[in-house]
């Protein structure tokens, strides 16, 4: 059988690129936050130094083998979701796996990471972590509804569940879904606020709230793996939104510009807003974003 | 079972890279033990920005590198500080803030506060003042960074090697000793 | 000028004959009583004279007279006058009655006085370890407890530097100046 070396190179390179771009975005966000607060921030490569320092801790304190599996679950979920999102359109190396129905599979895969983390967290026995996990999962119930409604609207409009075909249908500038179905775009962007984990929906891992919630008993190498998986997952979500609404990208420069533009929406909202309680955030997500999602479906079906 | 932290790295480059990363990303535990902690918020916020050096706050001892002992320690607090220090992961550093950690400061003849911090937990850097100003605090952190780069900031190893001596001093003032074993 | 305070002092002297009432200044009256008259006096002040607020309760150690003095400070919201009522109890058998049924906050003050001075309050069942943890020994706020000796024995003292004993000399040497003439009398440590 022919081994398609180009595709394998794509599979190997994509997590590396996601890691580099995701971690750089993290450092950029710290810098932007600092400039808005009228000070200079850390250099852009600060998150790389953080991850290197965490890897070079010499002791690894853990409470059992399930706790060590938690970060591994999170990393697996991030990388697997990344493999089903075409990073560049019409490129043999970087449009990865795809099959009919992969959009629904992606919805499941994105939740799998948090559930694995919850299992790992349960063994530490820290009450802060348990409360953080329950809050995180209830918030996820909140933002999944508008997100799924937006996706269903798109799937019904283009009569397909394959992400590559949705991407192929947006060949022209005016064919982008942001113009064809703006209600789906609005519902999706409001759901993105919850998915990214910035304020006002950051009650899960807030340091002042709960001693940082789920990762409170993780230190050293486990925390490094969790930070890595968080960066890769952020990049995956941004590329998914670019493919769904902004027509994908042909080369890396356009990809960086489009993902950064989408990323600025949760970041800039997060810098100037306080925090919602869990019940308020669920109420927020089930009011206007859900209404926009239902409107998106109605417009398509009519 | 002690891990061998003292293992001499054969490749000197690995040590240099690790020390560079460690010194430019110091996570400080958000725990103010005494009245000197009032100088930490000005250091971390917009005017005397400490995030330029990579210093941010951390919520739990498992994730922190640096423990700031800001000010006096009564015997009640000392028991909790020892437990917190032993929960942190190596390599870890302790900075003694203010004159109360050096020789007792304002409370030198009190029946409840300790006078010399060095006898109970190992200290890397002292910053004197009552309280030290944010500029002095940042200079203390830079001194810690230089010590890390030279490889001399090994308070954690000193603690593990001389554990009996430290325990003897601690048990002399803390009479009701009910603590978990050292959690390597 | 001090009409309200003088009128109040007259009223108190009519009911409690053995009290020594003094108007200290505007808005402040001090009343010195025997120790068995304090609960009736406080109840009288709280209900009849409207001194509804217990501001503070503390203890003074008169080592030479071999007595403790308990001080209660009351405040009237309408007239804005303060009553400082004092009483003396013997130091060897220091007991008193607990006032927690008059004001709830008296319980906390009594716990502190019990821990720091050793006064026993009958009726207060929460006396015990409050602020100091695992403290064995004399109650530390008494004047015959030598705190300096205790600190020197229990806690390790760091020895001072030999080359920097005098503060003025060290600072002037550091910045390359001279100690001025008017300060030379004070630079020599005894």
Rounded mean pLDDT, C132-143:
86
What pLDDT, on the 0 to 100 scale, is given for residue B94?
93
Chain A adjacent subunits, 3+ CB pairs under 8 A:
B
Count of domains for chain A:
1
Name the residue of chain B whose CA is nearest to A56's CA: B18
Name the residue facing A218 among B57, B62, B184 (closest C-beta): B62
A56: chain B residues, CB-CB within 8 Å: 18, 21-22
What pLDDT, on the 0 to 100 scale, is given for residue B61?
87
Contact assignment for A220 to B89 by CB distance below 8 Å: yes
> Is pLDDT above 90 for B145?
yes
> Is pLDDT above 60 for A140?
yes
What pLDDT, on the 0 to 100 scale, is given for residue A1?
58
Residues 50-109 of chain B whose Cβ lies under 8 A from any Cβ of chain A: 51-54, 57-60, 62-63, 65, 87-91
What pLDDT, on the 0 to 100 scale, is given for residue B31?
86
Phi, psi of C25 (to 5 degrees): -165, -170
> Is pLDDT above 80 for B33?
yes
Select the more confidently predicted residue: A132 or C121: C121
Q: Which domain holds residue A97?
A: 5-301
Provide the sign of the torsion angle of the four alpha carbons B136, B140, B141, B142, taken in this order: positive
DSSP string for residues in chain A: ----HHHHHHHHHHHHHHHHHHHHHHHHHHHHHHHHTTS----TTHHHHHHHHHHT-S----SSHHHHHHHHHHHHHHHHHHHTS-SSTT-TTT-----TTHHHHHHHHHHHHHHHHHHHHHTT--HHHHHHHHHHHHHHHHHHHHHHHHHHHHHHHHT---HHHHHHT--SGGG-HHHH-HHHHHHHHHHHHHHHT-TTS--SS-HHHHTTSGGGG--THHHHHHHHHHHHHHHHHHHHHHHHHS---SSHHHHHHHHHHHHHHHHHHHHH-----HHHHHHHHHTHHHHHHHHHHHHHH-
A219: chain B residues, CB-CB within 8 Å: 60, 62-63, 88-89
Chain B touches chain C, with at least 3 Cβ pairs below 8 Å, answer: yes
Question: In this complex, how many residue pairs, one in chain B and one in chain C, have their CB atoms less than 8 Å apart?
Answer: 50
Q: Which ipTM score applies to this complex?
A: 0.86
> Residue C104 — very low, low, confident or very high, per pLDDT cuts 50/70/90?
very high
* B169 near C CB under 8 A: yes
Contact assignment for B115 to C155 by CB distance below 8 Å: yes
Contact assignment for A39 to B47 by CB distance below 8 Å: yes
Select the more confidently predicted residue: A110 or A206: A110
Select the more confidently predicted residue: C99 or B2: C99
pLDDT tens digits along A215-226: 778 878 888 888
* SS3 of residue B78 by DSSP: helix
Closest of A87, A70, A96, A103 to residue A21, by C-alpha: A87
Contact assignment for A217 to B62 by CB distance below 8 Å: yes
The overall average pLDDT reported for chain B is: 86
CA distance, residue A87 to nearest chain B CA (Å): 31
Chain C adjacent subunits, 3+ CB pairs under 8 A:
B
Out of A58-62, A145-149, A283-287, C85-89, least confident range: A58-62
The overall average pLDDT reported for chain A is: 85
What pLDDT, on the 0 to 100 scale, is given for residue A264?
92
Rounded mean pLDDT, A110-128:
81
B24: chain A residues, CB-CB within 8 Å: 46, 49
What pLDDT, on the 0 to 100 scale, is given for residue B181?
67
Rounded mean pLDDT, C15-40:
90
What pLDDT, on the 0 to 100 scale, is given for residue B8?
55
A45 has which bridge partners?
Answer: none
Contact assignment for B54 to A46 by CB distance below 8 Å: yes
Name the residue facing B111 among C147, C157, C158 (closest C-beta): C147
* B44 near A CB under 8 A: no
* Cβ–Cβ under 8 Å, residues A213 and A128: yes
Q: With pLDDT > 90 as the criterion, what percentage of chain C qualifies?
A: 43
- Which domains does chain C carry? 3-129 (3.30.460.80)
B79: chain C residues, CB-CB within 8 Å: 133
> Is pLDDT above 60 for C189?
no
Name the residue of chain B whose CA is nearest to C158's CA: B103
C158: chain B residues, CB-CB within 8 Å: 102-104, 115-116, 118
> Residue B10 — very low, low, confident or very high, per pLDDT cuts 50/70/90?
low
> Is pLDDT above 70 for C174?
yes
Out of A243-247, C38-42, C126-130, C179-183, least confident range: C179-183
HEC letters along B105-117: HHHCCCCCECCCH
> Is pLDDT above 50 for C190?
no
C140: chain B residues, CB-CB within 8 Å: 111-112
Name the residue facing C151 among B102, B110, B176 (closest C-beta): B110
> Is pLDDT above 60 for B92?
yes
Q: What is the pTM of this model?
A: 0.84
* SS3 of residue A24 by DSSP: helix
**Test mutation, C115, C136, C151, chain B, max B CBs within 10 A:** C151
> Residue B4 — very low, low, confident or very high, per pLDDT cuts 50/70/90?
low
Closest of C9, C69, C17 to residue C45, by C-alpha: C9
Out of A197-201, A233-237, C35-39, C139-143, least confident range: A197-201
* Cβ–Cβ under 8 Å, residues A234 and A158: no
- Which domains does chain B carry? 27-173 (3.40.50.12280)
Name the residue of chain B whose CA is nearest to C150's CA: B111
The overall average pLDDT reported for chain C is: 87
Terminal CA-to-CA distance of chain B, rounded, Å? Answer: 8
Residues 164-223 of chain A whose Cβ lies under 8 A from any Cβ of chain B: 207-208, 211-212, 215-220, 223
pLDDT tens digits along C76-95: 999 899 999 999 999 888 88
**Test mutation, C138, C152, C156, chain B, max B CBs within 10 A:** C156
Contact assignment for A219 to B62 by CB distance below 8 Å: yes
Name the residue of chain B whose CA is nearest to C147's CA: B111
> Is pLDDT above 70 for A210?
no
B87: chain A residues, CB-CB within 8 Å: 61
Rounded mean pLDDT, A227-254:
88
Region at A163 (left for phi over 0; alpha for psi -120 to 50; beta for the rest): alpha
The whole-angstrom separation of Cα B99 and Cα A68 is 42
> Is pLDDT above 50 for B1?
no
């Amino acid at each position: 059988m022919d081994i398609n070396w180009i595709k394998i190179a794509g599979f190997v390179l994509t997590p590396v690129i996601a890691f580099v771009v995701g971690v750089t975005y993290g450092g950029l966000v710290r810098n932007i936050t600092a400039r808005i607060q009228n000070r200079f921030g850390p250099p852009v490569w600060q998150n790389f130094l953080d991850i290197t320092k965490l890897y070079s801790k010499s002791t690894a304190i853990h409470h059992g083998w399930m706790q060590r599996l938690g970060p591994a679950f999170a990393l697996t979920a991030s990388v697997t979701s990344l493999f089903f999102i075409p990073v560049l359109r019409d490129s043999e190396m970087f449009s990865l796996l795809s099959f009919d129905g992969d959009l629904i599979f992606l919805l499941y895969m994105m939740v799998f990471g948090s559930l694995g983390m919850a299992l790992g967290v349960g063994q530490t026995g820290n009450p802060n972590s348990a409360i953080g996990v329950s809050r995180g999962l209830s918030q996820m119930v909140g933002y999944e509804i508008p997100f799924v409604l937006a996706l269903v609207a798109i799937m019904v409009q283009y009569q397909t569940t394959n992400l590559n075909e949705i991407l192929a249908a947006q060949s022209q500038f005016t064919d982008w879904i942001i113009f064809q179905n703006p209600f789906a775009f609005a519902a999706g962007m409001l759901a993105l606020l919850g998915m990214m984990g910035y304020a006002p929906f950051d009650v899960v891992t807030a340091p002042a709230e709960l001693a940082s919630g789920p990762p409170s008993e993780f230190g050293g190498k486990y925390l490094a793996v969790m930070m890595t998986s968080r960066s890769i997952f952020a990049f995956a979500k941004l590329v998914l939104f670019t493919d769904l609404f902004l027509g994908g990208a042909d080369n890396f420069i356009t990809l960086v510009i489009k993902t950064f533009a989408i990323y600025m929406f949760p970041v800039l909202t997060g810098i100037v807003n306080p925090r919602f309680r869990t019940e308020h955030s669920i109420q927020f997500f089930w009011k206007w974003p859900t209404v926009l999602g239902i409107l998106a479906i109605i417009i398509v079906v009519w | 079972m002690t891990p061998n932290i003292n293992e001499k790295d054969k490749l000197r480059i690995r040590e240099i890279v690790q020390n560079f990363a460690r010194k430019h990303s110091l996570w400080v535990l958000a725990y103010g033990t005494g009245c000197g902690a009032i100088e930490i918020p000005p250091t971390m916020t917009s005017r005397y920005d400490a995030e330029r050096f990579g210093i941010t706050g951390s919520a739990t001892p498992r994730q922190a590198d640096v423990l700031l002992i800001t000010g006096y320690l009564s015997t009640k607090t000392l028991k909790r500080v020892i437990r917190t220090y032993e929960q942190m992961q190596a390599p870890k550093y302790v900075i003694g803030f203010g004159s109360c950690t050096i020789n007792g400061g304002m409370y030198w003849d009190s029946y409840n506060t300790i006078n010399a911090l060095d006898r109970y937990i190992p200290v890397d850097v002292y910053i004197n003042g009552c309280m030290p100003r944010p500029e002095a605090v940042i200079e203390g952190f830079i001194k810690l960074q230089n010590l890390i780069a030279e490889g001399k900031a090994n308070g954690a190893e000193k603690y593990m090697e001389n554990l009996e001596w430290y325990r003897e001093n601690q048990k002399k003032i803390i009479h009701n000793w009910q603590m978990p074993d050292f959690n390597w | 000028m001090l009409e309200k305070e003088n009128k109040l002092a007259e009223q108190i002297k009519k009911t409690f004959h053995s009290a020594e009432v003094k108007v200290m200044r505007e808005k402040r009256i001090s009343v010195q009583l025997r120790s068995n008259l304090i609960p009736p006096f406080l109840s009288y002040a709280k209900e009849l004279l409207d001194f509804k607020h217990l501001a503070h309760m503390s203890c003074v150690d008169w080592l030479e007279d071999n007595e403790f003095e308990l001080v209660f400070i009351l405040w009237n919201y309408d007239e804005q006058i303060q009553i400082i009522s004092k009483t003396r109890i013997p130091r060897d058998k220091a007991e008193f009655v607990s006032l927690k049924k008059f004001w709830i906050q008296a319980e906390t003050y009594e716990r502190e006085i019990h821990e720091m001075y050793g006064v026993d309050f009958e009726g207060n069942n929460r006396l015990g370890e409050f602020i100091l943890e695992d403290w064995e020994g004399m109650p530390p706020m008494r004047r015959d407890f030598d705190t300096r000796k205790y600190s020197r024995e229990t806690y390790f003292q760091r020895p001072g530097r030999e080359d920097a004993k005098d503060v003025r000399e060290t600072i002037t040497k550091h910045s390359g100046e001279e100690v001025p003439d008017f300060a030379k009398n004070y630079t020599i440590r005894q």
